[in-house]
A and B are shown apart, each in its own frame.
Chain A
Amino acid sequence: MPLLEVENLHTYYDNIQALRGVSLMVEKGEIVTLIGANGAGKTTTLRTICGLLRPREGHVKLEGEDLAKYKSHEIVYKGIAMVPEGRGVFARMTVTENLEMGAFSRNGKEEIKRNMERVFSLFPRLRERRTQLAGTMSGGEQQMLATGRALMASPNVLLMDEPSMGLAPVLVELIFDTIAQINKEGVTILLVEQNALMALAVAHRGYVLQTGEIVLKDTAENLRKNPTVQKAYLGME
């Protein structure tokens, strides 16, 4: 049974249909990437998975259990954490306070302490800045913080929405290295990206989303070689 399974999602914003039957699945331990152009429905898919949007049709299943019966704030207790688009750090809280908020769904003091250590060793930069207000940090640092904050919930599945957005190339590389490392430590990742090149380099498998529909799915390696993908998303002729 796949860890996360999305079946035939139809999501609307009022009367405008954003997803037209999206289906995908993520096996335990994988990095799966969802690539596509602006407005293809990538963020909508992630927001539907974590319950911030409700589908009109279709299901989101975690280890076979339909998540429809949970409220949006309960999803994180099931083991799904999100790194939102545009990072969404709590600007007026310090780094430590942001991380503590990430552990809101966790009770064990020991576990929270351990997770915090783990985040700090993953991002030594955050340890240096732990008393700084998140809103005053650079984009790269905020991305690290948003990622670290999601890890504080000890998730089984990490949903990442465009972690490379607006970052300098050197930072993009750092973030993707960290994604690979987090995955090695046992976290399953669903990664939404516009930067298909980087995403396909780190992922095991990938889906291509176009105007609310999955048009391609394959292993990352095959997708990299696929002429349509090369032309449309990798900028090769």
Chain B
Amino acid sequence: METNTSFSWKEFVKAGLLGGAVAVLLSLVGMVAAFSGRYIVSGVFTMGQVLFIAPILLSTYAALRRNRQLTNSNLFMAGLLSGLVGSAILALLVLIGSMVNLRAMLINASPELYGILTFGRGTGLGIVILLGLGLLIGAAAAGFLLLPDRIRHALTQAIIWVLLIGLLRDLIVTVSFRWGPLSSIVRQLFAVSGLTIIGALILFLLVGGVSYWRWGRPKRDAAESFNQQRPAARWLTIGITGLILLFLPLILGTFFSEILDNVSMYILMGLGLNIVVGFAGLLDLGYVAFFAIGAYTIGILTSPELGIATMSWWEALPFALLASFLAGFVLGLPVLKMRGDYLAIVTLGFGEIVRLLVLSDWLRPWLGGSQGIQRIAQPSIGPLVLNTQQELYYLFLIGLGLVAFIAWRLKDSRLGRSWMALREDEDVAMAMGINHVSTKLLAFATGALFSGLAGAIFAAKLTSVYPHSMNFLVSINVLSLIIIGGMGSIPGVFIGALVLIAAPDLLREFAEFRYLVYGALLVVMMLTRPEGLWPEKRRQLELHEEEPAVVPAAD
């Protein structure tokens, strides 16, 4: 048809504008500069460059893919146009920046940034290079689209893996030092920053080759294949995962054990909040309060500083758990009749109240005020005091195993079903004979208990607690990881924590932009995969109605 093959330039200008705008945004918030020191392939290109090239490339590619029916030459024209527009926006930034001092308002619009954007060639030549790069990006996007599916797929995989491995260079190299013979191989592949050219080539060919070979073979995603395994195979998978988890700190060493501890702590909280929000559908935004109560109870009962009690960590633990469990009940009582937004706001207030109480001067003799509580006891087993990151990891692991097991058993229990029924329709659930008061309170209290446990281990890890660690953002982090992982899904909590907690810790440069990335990720997730990364089966079925919504019968 005439209309289908004709070239609507507006759409491609728009795509270019979009890509360019994102690239400018990433430049002005400082991400491009922050990552400019981190080479993906040593001496060739950095993550900073990827950050301003990728938006233009992706946006151009997406626009082209929507117009696949165009003739090849039109496709190239469109690509060039979009790429040029995108890079022109960046060039405009450089041009304006060279004439006006933008730094007064945009602190990241530094000469350093312009240097990166112009590849260090000065404004005039730099802009020409930038525009040329834009054309190149456009042509690449069009060329990429014209490749056979199999090759394109292999290339995509290869590029993603090179980026990923290049970024994770520090982790891999540090870990490999612990494994003598391995480290000499690894050192061939990695430079001081990023991959060596040889390493990148090997990785590129390897991943590309494997994915080229695997093309067309049946594949299933991890969640699905796990669910389809026979029980014996499933236990084997769990067993092997367990063994790996057991030796992880020995494999990874101190620095990464710290990250592991952090991730475990968030998984613990995530599993708890997942019961409240995911199972029972009660949106709780003050979840950090229970974490605080767990941590502070340990502090109060073990620290000699306050002179209230000097129990051992193990002796204080039951009190910490009890206190957070009861706090869950106490919060639950006034909010029983509230639903949705109202509940969210009240719980938010509760979280703030707890934070302000531990911060207050009035309660300073008991809670330490803004100084917090120091010299908190660490747990010991016999003569061994658990005080290194690796040792504490095992404490987290035990807690995690217990809590994950409880959450998993609860899910399909009578109580779990009651939570689900209340979430779906409270009145009907009551008419079925479900006591909504005790059921809801148990959801709050169980969630609080898990969070309190996380707080108790956290206190032991830092040997101190401060009011500022009990910040509202902790609640938001936990909620975000549940949403990213998949609401109501237990494996989803693990995946969510890995993505949201481990990734920013591994890429230190990200830490500063953590919430920008969270926000963007949440928006993208809601648009493209609202059910989460490892969704609960029934939720996935609900959100993808085109497929028959049938839950496989339980065996």
Contact = CB atoms under 8 A, between A and B. Distances in A.
Interface of A: 47, 50, 52, 71-77, 81-82, 84, 88, 90-94, 97, 100-102, 104-105, 131-133, 135-136, 149, 153
Given A90-B425, A131-B552, A132-B549, A102 B539 contact: no
B433 A153 contact: yes
A54 to B, nearest CB: 13
B549 A133 contact: yes
30 contacts: A47-B427, A52-B431, A74-B433, A75-B431, A76-B431, A77-B433, A82-B431, A84-B427, A84-B431, A88-B425, A90-B420, A90-B424, A91-B424, A92-B539, A92-B542, A93-B420, A101-B417, A104-B418, A104-B421, A104-B434, A132-B550, A133-B541, A133-B542, A133-B549, A133-B551, A136-B541, A136-B542, A136-B549, A149-B432, A153-B432
A90 B414 CA distance: 15
The residue among B418, B431, B435 with the most chain A CB atoms within 10 A of its own CB is B431
B147 to A, nearest CB: 39
Nearest to B435: A73
B542 A101 contact: no
A98 B539 CA distance: 16
Given A82-B428, A100-B417, A136-B549, 15 more contacts: A47-B427, A52-B427, A72-B431, A76-B433, A84-B431, A91-B424, A92-B539, A94-B551, A101-B432, A104-B418, A104-B432, A131-B553, A133-B550, A136-B542, A136-B545
A104 B552 contact: no
A88 B425 CA distance: 7
A149 B417 CA distance: 15
Contacts of B508: none
Contacts of B425: 84, 88, 90
Nearest to B425: A88
B238 interface: no
A74 B436 CA distance: 11
A92 B424 CA distance: 7
B538 interface: yes
Nearest to A105: B433
A219 B433 CA distance: 33
B553 to A, nearest CB: 5
Given A84-B428, A90-B424, A101-B421, A73 B434 contact: yes
Contacts of B418: 104
B432 A102 contact: yes
A65 to B, nearest CB: 18
B42 to A, nearest CB: 51
Contact of B431 (A81, A90, A133, A136): A81
Given A131-B552, A132-B549, A104 B539 contact: no
B516 interface: no
Contact of B430 (A52, A100, A102): A52
Interface of B: 414, 417-418, 420-421, 424-425, 427-436, 538-539, 541-542, 545, 548-553
B412 to A, nearest CB: 9
Nearest to A75: B431
A99 to B, nearest CB: 11
A73 B430 contact: yes
A88 B428 contact: yes
A50 to B, nearest CB: 6
**Main SS at interface, chain A:** mixed
A88 B430 CA distance: 12
B544 to A, nearest CB: 11
B550 to A, nearest CB: 5
Nearest to A82: B431
B542 A135 contact: yes
A94 B550 CA distance: 8
A186 to B, nearest CB: 21
B427 A91 contact: no
B542 to A, nearest CB: 6
A149 B431 CA distance: 11
Contacts of A133: 538, 541-542, 549-551
B542 A88 contact: no
A84 B344 CA distance: 28
B538 A73 contact: no
A195 to B, nearest CB: 22
B430 A72 contact: yes
Closest CB pairs A-B (n = 3): A105-B433, A136-B549, A88-B428
Nearest to A90: B424
A131 B550 contact: yes
Contacts of A52: 427, 430-431
Contacts of A90: 420-421, 424-425, 428
Contacts of B424: 90-93
A202 B435 CA distance: 34
Contacts of A82: 428, 431
B542 A91 contact: yes
Contacts of A76: 431-433
Contact of B538 (A81, A88, A93, A100): A93
Contacts of B429: 101
A135 B417 CA distance: 16
B442 to A, nearest CB: 14
A75 B427 CA distance: 13
Nearest to A87: B428
A72 B61 CA distance: 59
Nearest to B541: A133
A161 to B, nearest CB: 11
Contacts of A88: 425, 427-428
A90 B417 CA distance: 11
A72 B431 CA distance: 7
B547 to A, nearest CB: 10
B60 to A, nearest CB: 38
Contact of A92 (B433, B538, B552): B538
B436 to A, nearest CB: 7
Contacts of A74: 433
B435 to A, nearest CB: 5
A153 B549 CA distance: 27
A103 B553 CA distance: 19
Contacts of B435: 71, 73
A41 B28 CA distance: 62
Contacts of B551: 94, 131-133
A74 B538 CA distance: 30
Contacts of B432: 73, 76, 101-102, 104-105, 149, 153
A92 B420 CA distance: 8
B431 A50 contact: yes
Nearest to B488: A92
Contacts of A149: 432
A73 B436 contact: yes
Contacts of B421: 90, 93, 101, 104
A77 B433 CA distance: 7
Contacts of A136: 541-542, 545, 549
A4 B224 CA distance: 51
B413 to A, nearest CB: 12
Contacts of B433: 73-74, 76-77, 104-105, 153
Contacts of B431: 50, 52, 72-73, 75-76, 81-82, 84
